[in-house]
Amino acid sequence: MEDYPSLLRAMSGMDYVFHAAASYPGVCDPALVQERVQSSIDQMKNVIRATREAKVKRLIYTSSLTTIGSPPENETRLADERDFYIPGSLPDNAYHEMKAAMENLALQASGVGYDIVILNPTLVLGPGDVHLSTGEILLMFAQNKAKAVPPGTLNVVDVRDAAEAHINAARIGKRGQRYILGGSNYRIEEAAAIIANIADVKPPLLTLPTWLMDFYIKAGDALPFIPFAHDHVRAYKHWQGYNIEKARKELDLNSRFLEETVRDSLKWFSNQGIR
């Protein structure tokens, strides 16, 4: 991403570019976060510049659910594309800060003539997760290794549905628009119970109270008995449900049920010798 000539060569002759690359540094010192953010900004500028020079018709940028903020307190609705993460809300979470900065650049560029569509996938699960980037969460529930879950809500999208929405974004997405790619909203304990039932194991025993979550976060300790990375746990108060109607209407997003995603994922893991 920092090698501009190589980006330009890769984009030469392309009509569409899908930008789904980003580092995942997790929690780090706030001073280091700013270095990571600046590096991400520089890389994003390279990508945007290269699309213009290579005469790419459209850039489809895969952002993140972390850039979707909470609705105003006086509005009783699910979060949607109108809501933005406020930079600095999680000053030691490099991923949140980086993705917000990168998406902001994409929005700015689309406002001055660049054809860019922004996609915000929620928690992506499904078959084919070679690196266990999110599949590890599913496996911890399926293997009965998760003894407790954090409080909160999550939204899951099947990787196959997210992939199809990316293709549709290239074809029919609207320039300068954000689209949340998601499925149904679940309380975390509900999703855990669905996975456990399909895997024929017992679900987690309890949902941790917020005071205990806050205690561990302030102490800087990881929680080995819940299936979420430490940096995600530190951001648990930002977890929420999402309204995906815009992507349904404009990108023909057709989200399958979590049960199908779980069954297909566990079958794929089993075929790969991952149990």
When mean pLDDT is compared across 22-31, 56-65, 78-87, 159-168, the lowest value belongs to: 22-31
Q: What percent of the chain has pLDDT over 70?
A: 92
Pair 154, 121: CB distance under 8 Å: no
pLDDT tens-digit readout, 67-76? 999 999 999 9
- pLDDT for 117: 99
Give me the DSSP letters along 88-148: TSSTTBHHHHHHHHHHHHHHHHHTTT--EEEEEE-EEE-TT-TT-TTHHHHHHHHTT---E
Taking each helix axis from N to C end, the angle separating 94-110 and 30-53, rounded to the nearest 10 degrees, works out to 30
Bridge pairing between strands 153-158 and 185-187 = antiparallel
- pLDDT for 215: 80
In one-letter notation, the amino acid at residue 126 is G
* Distance of alpha carbon 195 from alpha carbon 270, whole angstroms: 15
Counting the structural domains of the chain, the total is 1
- pLDDT for 90: 86
> Helix (H, G, I), strand (E, B), or coil: what is residue 274?
coil
- pLDDT for 224: 59
Residue 16's CATH number: 3.40.50.720
- pLDDT for 227: 57
**Residue bearing tokens 């930002």:** 238
- pLDDT for 66: 94
Host domain of residue 130: 4-271
Closest alpha carbon to 27 in 97, 79, 75, 87:
97
- pLDDT for 85: 96
Q: Which residue has the higher pLDDT, 45 or 131?
A: 45
Pair 158, 182: CB distance under 8 Å: no
pLDDT tens-digit readout, 173-226? 999 999 999 999 999 999 999 999 999 999 998 898 988 888 877 765 555 556
* Distance of alpha carbon 217 from alpha carbon 214, whole angstroms: 5
Q: What residues are paired with 58 via a beta bridge?
A: 16
Q: How many Cα neighbours within 13 Å face the side chain of 260? A: 10
Q: How many Cα neighbours within 13 Å face the side chain of 247? A: 31
Give me the DSSP letters along 42-87: HHHHHHHHHHHHTT-SEEEEE--GGG--PPPTT--S-B-TT----T
- pLDDT for 28: 64
- Record the pTM: 0.92
